[in-house]
Amino acid sequence: QVQLVESGGGSVQAGGSLRLSCAASGYTISSSWLGWFRQAPGKEREGVAFMYNGGNGTYYVDSVKGRFRISEDNAKNTAYLQMNSLKPEDTAMYYCAAGRKYEGSWRNPDEYKYWGQGTQVTVSS
């Protein structure tokens, strides 16, 4: 049984940093695409950072480029999202997703089979 467990969320002031973790069991995170998505109240879930090709490739949505960094520790089978220079608009529930179906765009949340329960990030101004 595949399980993804996120942790590391919290409340910070604007300009602060957080590091989210996504610990996987029953699945090797480096075997396929892994994405970090976020969803704010009343908004659609959006992908913010993706990792592929065993961690050799990364993609970031424009709004987080230069501030967020996705990485993985294969020995721990854990992915991370380092978030720096946080802004109030980064406030959302953050999810990691894995197990790409290869049925559509890698940006599409429906493309991923496995999801964590989410971790809340709140950034105050």
Q: What is the DSSP letter of 90?
A: G
Contact by Cβ (8 Å): 2, 87: no
Which string of DSSP letters, residue by residue, matches 25-75? Answer: ESS-GGGS-EEEEEE-TTS--EEEEEEETTTTEEEE-GGGTTTEEEEEETT
Section 4-33 average pLDDT: 96
Checking if the pLDDT of 32 tops 90, the result is no
Q: Residue 113's pLDDT is what?
A: 96
Radius of gyration of the chain (CA): 13
Q: Residue 115's pLDDT is what?
A: 98
pLDDT-derived band at 57 (thresholds 50, 70, 90) equals: very high
Checking if the pLDDT of 53 tops 90, the result is no
* pLDDT tens digit sequence for 60-112: 999 999 999 999 999 999 999 999 999 999 999 999 999 999 999 999 999 99
Q: Residue 109's pLDDT is what?
A: 96
